[in-house]
Amino acid sequence: QVQLVESGGGLVQAGGSLRLSCVGSGGSFRIMGWYRQAPGKQRELVATIDSSDVRNYADAVKGRIAISRDYAKKTVDVQMDRLTSEDTAVYYCYAKRIITDKDYWGQGTQVTVSS
């Protein structure tokens, strides 16, 4: 059974930094990454990284966020800097499994940026 478990969310002041971590289990993943959902909005891409280390960033976070992955440990981390109130959201770990291409989601971790 595939599981994605996030950690690292919390409250941070505007201009501050946070690092989110996610560990996967129960399978191997072609793509891992992060999405977020703010109140009243649809879930949106933050960043993904595939098995060739190709990174994809949303325009809203480019230059402020760096995604990294440890294939052996099945983890994906995102370092977020210069946070603003616009970054306040629930952040979800995402993974696409190899072979089946099925998508999986974590439970989400809240990030709140105070101005």
Q: Is the distance from CB of 29 to CB of 96 less than 8 angstroms?
A: yes
Confidence of residue 58 (pLDDT cuts 50, 70, 90): very high
C-alpha–C-alpha distance, residues 27 and 38, integer Å:
29
Percent of the chain with pLDDT over 90: 98
Bridge partner residues of 89 (DSSP): 111
Q: List, for residues 65-109, the tens digit of each pLDDT value.
A: 999 999 999 999 999 999 999 999 999 999 999 989 999 999 999
C-alpha–C-alpha distance, residues 102 and 1, integer Å:
12
